Structure 1
Amino acid sequence: MTRSALVGMPVVLAALVFAFGWHIAVGAKTIPLATVFDAILSYDGTIFDHVVIVNLRLPRALYAVLVGASLSVAGALMQGITRNPLAEPGILGLLTGAAFAVVLCVGYFKIASPAMVPLLAAIGATGTAALVWGIATAAPGGSTPLTLVLSGAAITAFLGAFITLANLLDQQSFDSMRVWLTGTLGGRSPDILYWSLPWMLGGLALAFAIARQVTALAMGDDTAVGLGVNVARLKALAMLAVIALTAASVAIAGPMGFVGLVIPHVARILVGADYRLIVPFSAVLGAIYLLVVDIAARLILAPIEISTGIVTALLGAPFFVWLVRARL
């Protein structure tokens, strides 16, 4: 482990603890940090602030940590296996594909079981990934970074149009999903977390397990093969982790774009090109990032709350434009 990683990890973990406490403390009523940690460590149901913290604010903070970590790690893996600095679940269409599958099945087929939502999202993300990859591969020149981005943009627009059309045709059925489709951490059922958590933990565990091999793959297929890596198997495992992380994140928070684009690049600046460091740093930095973004979403126009996904898009889109200008 490099010196920057040895120094940096305790710093980012401390920042995560602070951001977590700050996230819980702010809101319609500001609660002192001392009360926040007291409620978490010594909950007293007779104290109103404790009830608000444990029942309302703590779950939302946990959603931010899990979704931020999952999308960031998914983006890091996609950038590693495709060697494409613009790759992330949103830009390549996986978020919209997952959301489309959930909207279609919940809105039209009335499949409302929380246990099914992550599975439906995974099916949608898998189908979209295969479609985008197929279109990019069939293009002249093959699956270059540009063709992957263009294919992802086309499929995202196509499926997004279907989601909008479904909403217009049956507004009553889709009314409860309208805010979710913009990317939000508020008002989510604990059952969704219960059924999504195994997908997230499995995806994160798999990402950590293959991180060393992804480092070799990021240097090129021939180099990876020379180092004894089974490239086809590794790409399949990485996509399995990406789909699991993306599906669980969409199930909890809806399609929240650009998180997986921004954070892996920040992690590389801090720790270099070793995915054994990029993956854990992306997870922690992604959690911090979404906590801070969600705080901003609640405070910018208070008492009106902006969907967190709108803020991630406002921050991520300029970063995407900068990457396009710098790398392509």
Structure 2
Amino acid sequence: MSADLPRGLVRSRRTRVLALALTFAVLLLVALASIAIGARAISPGTVLDAFTHYDRTLDEHLIVRTLRVPRTLVGLLVGLALGMAGTLFQGVTRNPLADPGILGVNAGASLAVVMAIYLLGVGSLLGYVWFGFLGAAVASVAVYLLGALGRGGATPIKLALAGSAVAAFLSALSSAILVIDAATLNQYRFWAVGSVAGRDGTIAAQVAPFVVVGAVLALVTGRMLNTLALGDDVAQGLGQRVGLIRVYSGLVAVLLVGAAVAAAGPISFLGLVVPHLARMIAGTDYRWILAFAALIGPILLLGCDVLGRIAARPGEIQVGIVVAVIGGPFFIALVRRRRLVEL
């Protein structure tokens, strides 16, 4: 890691804690907005009443408890998972442009869902979750095994190349199935756009254990990634097992992305932008970067989800589309304003 890396907007431990608390407060406000704003606006007071004095006969209470709260919970989990996973991928590969798609996770999950619809007739989001998770895991293992071939083992460059190759191959298989079967395409496209709409409490409960466990394991990697950022030779000289660190961090990232993609479909740019925002605030210490990414991810996802509801009211634009529309120009502006560092 070069000596001139930016140290972040906040540098002392005390200011970082305060900044983290402020970020958490922003997350709470965005979550409240996600519950209150939609095709039918609901006041904050009514939202509070839906929790403290729930009345099944009131439409507003039913909307809050059965539709918007589960949707917000899924958004929180997915945003947290993608934000932390993107940070892990960038730390492991030491590539500032790495995102969860670098190990073929999105492509693997998408192919598994397509095959589940085409071969098994699966037609519910509840069924997509497990097939998406399985596909993400299998694709990631395949990428690692392919990247580990040859001399030097699974280096960052070989993993990136292997990931790109596997993702292209799996995407081609998915496209082939969708072209020959219109019914599969009609079902798949609602999942593939990337959305938290229509997700109920059952899906949130299913993916929550994976995301929570993955988040805890990801926080443990902070010191490891700090050492890895110094370079492989230095890390080995300090007694670190570089290969083991990469395998561990990669598996944790796959766990997080697999859960997120299975629940909400492939959502681009979030895992790419969030680590850079966290690094702008916290500097180069991955212990703090991961903590900020865990909060910034859901802030961006829920914020984009709310924007999608406002922009097309009384309908809505799915969050995957809003993230892509906002994320692309935002990341270009980020690159122009701040030199992308060599991690």
TM-score range, shorter chain: 0.7 to 0.9
Give 1:167 shift: 2.4
2:159 and 2:221 mapped to 1: Cα distance?
Answer: 23
Cross-structure match for 1:18: 29
- Deviations for 1:16-63, whole angstroms, at most 9, x for unmatched residues? 110000111111111111221232344232322111101001111111
Instruction: Tell whether the 8 Å contact from 1:298 to 1:306 is kept in structure 2 after alignment.
Output: yes
Of 262, 268, 287, the residue aligned with 2:279 is 268
Give 1:287 shift: 0.8
* Percent of aligned pairs with the same amino acid: 39
Cross-structure match for 1:104: 115
Cross-structure match for 1:304: 315
Cross-structure match for 1:295: 306
Of 19, 42, 66, the residue aligned with 1:8 is 19
Instruction: Tell whether the 8 Å contact from 1:86 to 1:320 is kept in structure 2 after alignment.
Output: no
Of 156, 159, 179, the residue aligned with 2:170 is 159
Give 1:169 shift: 2.2
Of 88, 99, 107, the residue aligned with 1:88 is 99
- Deviations for 1:91-140, whole angstroms, at most 9, x for unmatched residues? 54321222212221343134678777555334422343355556667799
Q: CA RMSD in A?
A: 3.0
1:232 and 1:141 mapped to 2: Cα distance?
Answer: 10
2:309 and 2:164 mapped to 1: Cα distance?
Answer: 29
Instruction: Tell whether the 8 Å contact from 1:91 to 1:258 is kept in structure 2 after alignment.
Output: no
Q: Residues 90 and 210 from structure 1, CA distance in 2 versus in 1: closer, same or farther, beyond 3 angstroms? A: same
**Which segment is superposed worse, 60-69 or 201-210?**
201-210
- Deviations for 1:54-83, whole angstroms, at most 9, x for unmatched residues? 100111111111100000000001111111
Cross-structure match for 1:66: 77
SS at match of 2:317: coil
Matches within 5 A, 1:195-274: 195-274=206-285
SS at match of 1:178: helix
1:91 and 1:49 mapped to 2: Cα distance?
Answer: 42
Cross-structure match for 1:37: 48
1:268 and 1:120 mapped to 2: Cα distance?
Answer: 33
2:335 and 2:55 mapped to 1: Cα distance?
Answer: 52
**Which segment is superposed worse, 231-240 or 7-16?**
231-240
The AA in structure 1 aligned to 2:54 is Y
Give 1:315 shift: 2.3
Instruction: Tell whether the 8 Å contact from 2:73 to 2:204 is kept in structure 1 after alignment.
Output: no
1:294 and 1:285 mapped to 2: Cα distance?
Answer: 14
2:266 and 2:123 mapped to 1: Cα distance?
Answer: 18
Instruction: Tell whether the 8 Å contact from 2:84 to 2:294 is kept in structure 1 after alignment.
Output: yes
2:317 and 2:310 mapped to 1: Cα distance?
Answer: 9
Instruction: Tell whether the 8 Å contact from 2:219 to 2:290 is kept in structure 1 after alignment.
Output: yes
Instruction: Tell whether the 8 Å contact from 2:66 to 2:200 is kept in structure 1 after alignment.
Output: no
Of 189, 192, 196, the residue aligned with 1:181 is 192
1:195 and 1:234 mapped to 2: Cα distance?
Answer: 28
- Deviations for 1:153-201, whole angstroms, at most 9, x for unmatched residues? 5543443333233223222244333111110111124333222222111
1:235 and 1:140 mapped to 2: Cα distance?
Answer: 16
**Which segment is superposed worse, 223-232 or 247-256?**
223-232
5+ long unaligned stretches in structure 1: none
TM-score by length of 1: 0.88
- Deviations for 1:215-255, whole angstroms, at most 9, x for unmatched residues? 21122223323333322222221111111111111111001
The AA in structure 1 aligned to 2:287 is R
5+ long unaligned stretches in structure 2: 1-11
Give the paired residue count. Answer: 328
